[in-house]
Amino acid sequence: MIFGIGIDTVDLNRIATLLQKNDRFLNRILTAAETSAYRQLKQTRAIEFVAGRFAAKEAFSKAYGTGIGPECSFQDIEILNTMNGKPIVTHPFELKAFVSITHTDTVAMAQVILEERD
């Protein structure tokens, strides 16, 4: 049974500007494993990666029903990729999580569907 659906978009230029300032934003948004994956990427792809994770985590928190805050922080949600590149939520709380992330030249968008476990 579906527990919740969330969607979010983010402007890539906004993320690029935040990343240029210092590592504070990056450390707030990405887990250690996500940061490791980020550090392997070239400039444009790295911005898309962070923007996609930001949008996906926002979408997750909307589907979860709390928004980002004490009950559901950016660090509580981890999104990595399978060997084939499919994004997966590795910290889905007590729910099954399905995530899709996409990009254009200017925007990253993510959708999350949360499902109750059997």
Q: Active site residue: 21, 42, 86, 103, which one?
A: 103
Query: Is 42 a residue of the active site?
Result: no
* Contact between 115 and 96 (Cβ < 8 Å): yes
Q: How far is CA 33 from CA 47, 56, 103, in A?
A: 16, 16, 21
91 as an active site residue: the answer is: no
Of the residues 21, 62, 86, 96, only one is catalytic, namely 62
100: left (phi over 0), alpha (psi -120 to 50) or beta: beta
Active site residues: 62, 103
